[in-house]
Structure 1
Amino acid sequence: MRKDDLYITVPSLFRCPISLDVMKSPVSLCTGVTYDRCSIQRWLDSGNNTCPATMQVLQTKELVPNHTLQRLIQIWSDSVKTQTESNKVNSVLLTHEQVRELIKQFRVHTDLDVNSERLSKLLAFSEESSENKRFVASISTESNLLVVLTSYLVQNPKNLKVMEKIVPLWRMLVEQRVSVSKIGRINDVYPAILSGLKHGSLKMKIEMTKAVELIISTDSEAKSTLSENTELYSVLLSFSTITSSSDWNPELMEVSISSLISFAMLRKNRVNLVKAGAVKTIGKALPLSSTGLTDKLLRLLELISTCKEGRIEICNDTDCVQAIVKKVLKVSNEATEHAVTILWSLCCLFRDHKAQESVAKSNGMAKILLLLQSNCSPAVRQMAADLLKVFRVNPKAVSCLSTSYDTKTTHIMPF
C-alpha cells in the first residue's frame, strides 16, 4: 500500500461542523447551515435552540434533507474507493537500478505499446513516496524523459489512451521542477492539453489541470502564451460548477480555480474571464463552497472586480452580490477581506446602485458594523468605514447590533 493511502483529504464541505466527520445524512437548518442528522439531532435534543455554527436562534427546528450534498458525498466516496483499489493493484517494488534501466529502455524503444507497461511501473514507483518522485525526476533530467513524453503528447493530441498513460508521469515531472523549458513550445502541446481537459477521464482532467497550474505558475512565457487561448478559461470554469454530476469533483474544482487565479494575475486576462462566464459560475459555487475553496473563489472574484467589465457583470448578478455578503465574517479572515474589497469596489469606487441595493437587502450593513468591532486589518477597517458612509449608517448602532449577532464558532466541540 502506498503511504498516501493512509491519509485521505476530506473536503471541508463534506464534514459535519459538529462531529467533523464525513456526513452520512446531511440535513439543513433554517439558517442554511448543513449538519449530519445524528449530530444536530443530539444538539437539539440537549435543549439547545440555536444553530451551532452561527448561534442564531432557530425559528423552526425542522431538518431538511440536503439530497444534492448527499449525492456529492457519495460520488466522492466512490472515487476515493476506486483510487485506493487502483493504487493497491498498481503498486510495485523496484530498486533504483531497475528504475534506471526502465527509463533507459523507454528512450531506446519509442513505440508506446512497448513502453506502456514501463510507464505504469514508473508512475507506480513514483507515487510510493516523495523520495521516489525526486529520484525519478533526477534520472529523468539526465535522460530528457520529459522531452520524450512531451513529444508523445504533441504527436498524439487526440489519442486519449496514449494520454492516459503519459499525462500522470508528465505532470509529476513538471511538479518536481524538471525544467519546464524542456516542454518546448507550449502551443505545440496545447491541443493535447485541451483534448485531455475536455474529453479525458476524471483522473486525466485532474492531472492535466494540475499540470496547467504548475506550468503557468513557474513559467511566465508559457503563462502568457496559454492566456491567448480563451477556450481554456471556459473549460476550467466548467470544472468549477458544483453539480451532482459524476464529472464534478472537489479536487478538480479547487485546482481549476487556482489555475484561473494564476491567469487572472495578468490584468489582460480578466476581461476574457468575464466573457467566459466566471462571475455567474462563482456566484453559483459560493453558497456551497468549503472554507478553502471560498477563499479562492473570492480571491478570483476580487481580481475580476478590478476591471470595469467585471464590476458591471457582478453588479448585474444579484445572487452573486448576496453570496459575497453572506461570506463576510462567516468563513475566514482571508475570505472576509476579499469579500469586503469586492463590496467596496462595487459600492464605493464604482457607486453601483444595484450592488448597493443587493448589499442592503442581504443585511450587509449589519455585518459591516460588526466588522468594525472585529480584529480586522486597518485596510479592511477603512473600507468598512467607507461603506458605512455610502449607506449613511450611524456607527452608534454597532452596540445594539453586536449583542444580537455572533459569528464566532470556537465553542463548537465534536461529540
Structure 2
Amino acid sequence: MVLSWRRSRKSGRISAKKDAGVETPERIFTTPTHFLCPISLDLMKDPVTLSTGITYDRESIEKWVDSGNKTCPVTNQTLTNFDQIPNHAIRKMIQLWCVENKSQGIERIPTPRIPITKSDVSDICSNISISTARKDHSKCIELVNKVKRWMRESEKNRKCLIEGGVGDVLSTAFEFFTTVCINENDEVLSVILSALPSLFPISEEAQTKLVSVPSIRCMARYVKKEDPNSVLLLKELTVCKERNAITITHELLSIEEMEESLMKIVKLQLTPRATKAALTLIYQIITIYSSSSNSTRFANADFVSILIDLIVDSERSLCEMAMAVMDAICLFEVGRKRVKEHAMTMPVMVKKLLRVSGMATELSVSVIWRLCKNDEAGCCVEAIKLGCFQKLLVVLQVGCGGKTKEKVSELLKMMNQYRGKLECFDSTMNLKHINRPSF
C-alpha cells in the first residue's frame, strides 16, 4: 500500500495516510522544534547564533537585519553587534537527523560555506599587492582565482570584497603589469580582467589607473582578441564618470581597427552583457565624436542588419541599446542612408512603437523622425502604409517626453499631407512576412 507524505510548514510535522478510500489514523512525523528557524519556521540550512544566544537560519536573519531591524526577533533585545556565529553543533545534529530519516523523504542539508570576513578580504588584498610587487604571476593568478571563487559563492561575499577594496588593489595590479612587457604578463592580465568588472564600484584613484593610456590600450588589445571581459570593464569605466568616457573614447578612436573589433563583439553575441557593453561603447564613440570620420565606420550595411536582428529578437535592455545605436547612426547622412536602405528598418521601428518600453518607443520615434525629416516623401509614405500614423496618435494620448512629443507632432504634420492618398496596411502585421535583404 502506497503512503503519501505531507509536511506542515509551521509545525514541521509530516503525516502519512493511505491513498485508499478507507479512513485510517495518520502517522505523524514531527521535526524537532529546535531545528526550525524562529523566523521562517523552516528547517535551518545554515544555523547561526546571535549575541542574544538565539539561533536562526543565516538567510532569514540576514534579511531581518538588512531590512533595518536592530533587535533579536525572539527576545526583542537590542543587538549589541550583528555577528553571526555558525552553530556547528546544531547543524551537525540536523544533518544527522536528516540522514536517519532519509526513508521518510528527508534530504540531508549540505554543509554551508561560511561567508568571508573583513579579515579575509584584508589578507587577500595584502597578498595580491605583495605578489604584484614581486612580479609573481602564478601567485597573483592563484589569489585572483580565489577572489572569483568567493564571488561565485554568494552575493554577500562579492559585496564584502567590493567594500574591502579588492577592486582597487586589482586595478593597481592591472596597471602595473601593463607597464612592463605585456606578452609576458598575458595570463595574469587576462585573469585580472575576468574579475574586475564584477568588483565595481571602485575608487576614483583606481579608475585613474585603469583609464591610463597603457591600461586602455591593453584592454583594447583584448577586445581584438574577442575577450568579453575587456569590453565589460571599458563599459563600467565609461559609465562611472563622463571624463572617463571622453578619455576612453578618444584613445579607442586612435587604435587601428578598433571600430571593427567592437562591431565583431556585437555580431558574435558572446554574452548578453558583453553585447550590451560593446553597444554602449559604440554609442559613446558616435555621440561624443559624431563629427569624426571614424564614427561613420559604424554606418555600414552589415552592422545595420545586426542591429535590426537585435532589436527584433533581444530582451528589453539589449533591444533599447541597439535602438539607441541605430538612432545615433542616423545623426549623419551616410548613416541615415544605410539605415533607410535596409528593408526591415521602418517595419521594425513602427512595430516597436508602444511594444517594448517607454524608452524604446521614444527611440523608435526618433529614428522614424530622422528618416522622414531627410526623405519626407519616401519614408513618410512607407511609415503610413505600416500604420505609423495611428500609433503616433496613441503615443500622444498615453504621454511622452517633451522632445519626443515635438517629434511626434512634427511627424504627424508631415504624414498628414500623404495620409489621405494611401490605404494603410494592418499595423499588427507579423514581421516574418517581410523579406529580409541579404548582405
How would you bin the TM-score normalised by the shorter chain?
0.5 to 0.7
1:291: how far off? 2.3
Q: Which residue of 1 aligns with 2:392?
A: 368
Contact 1:279 1:301 in 2 (8 A): yes
TM-fit CA distance, 1:121: 1.1
Task: Write the distance in 1 (CA, Å) between the matches of 2:390 and 2:217.
Answer: 50
Report the counterpart of residue 64 of structure 1 in structure 2. Answer: none
Specify whether residues 185 and 216 from structure 1 end up closer, same or farther in structure 2 by C-alpha distance, changes over 3 A only: closer
Structure 1 residues 302 and 120, CA, compared in 2 at 3 Å: closer, same or farther?
same
Please, which moves more after superposition, 97-106 or 112-121?
97-106
Aligned pair partner of 1:102 in 124, 128, 137: 124
Instruction: Report what 1:260 is aligned to.
Output: 282
Greater helix fraction, Structure 1 or Structure 2 = 1
User: Matches of 2:240 and 2:167 in 1, distance apart?
Assistant: 21
Of the two structures, which has the highest relative contact order with CA contacts closer than 8 Å and spacing of 6 or more? Answer: 1
> Partner of 1:355 in structure 2?
379
Question: 1:274 is matched with which residue?
Answer: 296
Matched, 1:192 2:255: no
Match of 2:270 among 245, 248, 269: 248
The whole-number CA distance in structure 2 between the counterparts of 1:160 and 1:360 is: 55
Matched, 1:300 2:325: yes
Give runs of ≥4 in structure 1 deviating > 6 Å: 394-397, 404-407
**Out of 388, 392, 395, which is 2:412 matched to?**
388
The equivalent residue for 1:344 is: 369
Over 3 Å counting, the alpha-carbon distance change for 1:188 and 1:389 in structure 2 is: same
- After TM superposition, give the deviation of residue 174 of structure 1 in Å: 4.5
- Which residue pairs with 2:239 in the alignment? 217
Aligned match of 2:259 in 215, 233, 237?
Answer: 233
The whole-number CA distance in structure 2 between the counterparts of 1:185 and 1:406 is 47
TM alignment of 1:15-414, pairs within 5 A = 94-109=116-131, 110-140=135-165, 144-155=169-180, 157-158=182-183, 160-177=186-203, 179-183=205-209, 186-199=212-225, 204-205=227-228, 207-228=229-250, 229-230=252-253, 231-241=257-267, 248-268=270-290, 272-276=294-298, 277=300, 278-348=303-373, 350-377=374-401, 379-392=403-416
Q: Which has the larger radius of gyration?
A: 2
**Relative to structure 1, is the Cα distance of residues 264 and 107 closer, same or farther in structure 2, using a 3 angstrom cutoff?**
same
Q: What is the letter of the counterpart of residue 232 of structure 1?
A: M
Structure 2 CA distance, aligned partners of 1:143 and 1:279?
38
Distance in 2, matches of 1:219 and 1:274, equals 25
Identity between Structure 1 and Structure 2 (%): 15
Note the alpha carbon deviations across 1:368-392, whole angstroms, 9 max, x for none. Answer: 3444554445654443332233233
* Aligned-partner Cα distance in 1 for 2:350–2:273: 25
Deviations 1:340-395 (A, max 9, x none): 122112213x2354433543454433433444554445654443332233233588
Q: Which amino acid aligns with 1:347?
A: C
Structure 1 pair 293–197 and aligned structure 2 pair: CA distance change class (3 A): same
TM-score, normalised on structure 1? 0.62
Rounded to whole Å, the distance in 2 between the matches of 1:353 and 1:161 is: 57
- Structure 1's 329 and 356: CA in aligned 2 closer, same or farther, altered over 3 A? same
Deviation at 1:211, TM superposition (A): 0.8
Query: For 1:65-123, what per-residue CA distance to the aligned partner results, in whole angstroms no more than 9, with x for missing partners?
Result: xxxxxxxxxxxxxxxxxxxxxxx9xx886443233223222222331112221111123
Kept in 2: contact 1:329–1:371 (CA 8 A): yes
Question: For the Cα contact (< 8 Å) 1:197–1:209, is it kept in 2?
Answer: yes
Shift of 1:332: 1.9
Q: Where do 5+ consecutive residues of structure 1 fail to align? A: 7-87, 408-415
Distance 1:107 1:265, change over 3 A: same
SS of aligned partner of 1:268: coil
On the 8 A contact 2:266/2:279 being kept in 1, the answer is yes
Residues 1:151 and 1:340: Cα distance change in structure 2 (over 3 Å)? same
Flag the 1:130–1:183 CA change in 2: closer, same or farther, 3 A: farther
Q: Is the 8 A contact 1:134 1:176 kept in 2?
A: no
Q: 1:162 to 1:361 in 2, by over 3 A?
A: farther
Aligned with 1:331: secondary structure? coil
- The 1:289/1:143 distance shift into structure 2, 3 A limit, reads closer
Residues 317/274 of structure 1: CA separation in 2 closer, same or farther (3 Å cut): farther
User: Aligned partners of 1:222 and 1:297: how far apart in 2?
Assistant: 22
Q: Which moved more, 1:262-271 or 1:288-297?
A: 262-271
Structure 1 distance, partners of 2:387, 2:118, is: 62
The whole-number CA distance in structure 1 between the counterparts of 2:118 and 2:168 is 15
1:167 positional shift? 0.9
The aligned residue for residue 30 of structure 2 is none
Q: CA deviation at 1:193?
A: 1.0
Query: Which position in structure 2 is the counterpart of 1:35?
Result: none
Which letter maps to 1:351? D
Is 262-271 or 108-117 further displaced after alignment?
262-271
What amino acid maps onto 1:208 in structure 2? Answer: S
Distance 1:120 1:313, change over 3 A: same
Figure out how many residues of one structure are paired with residues of the other and give that number: 308
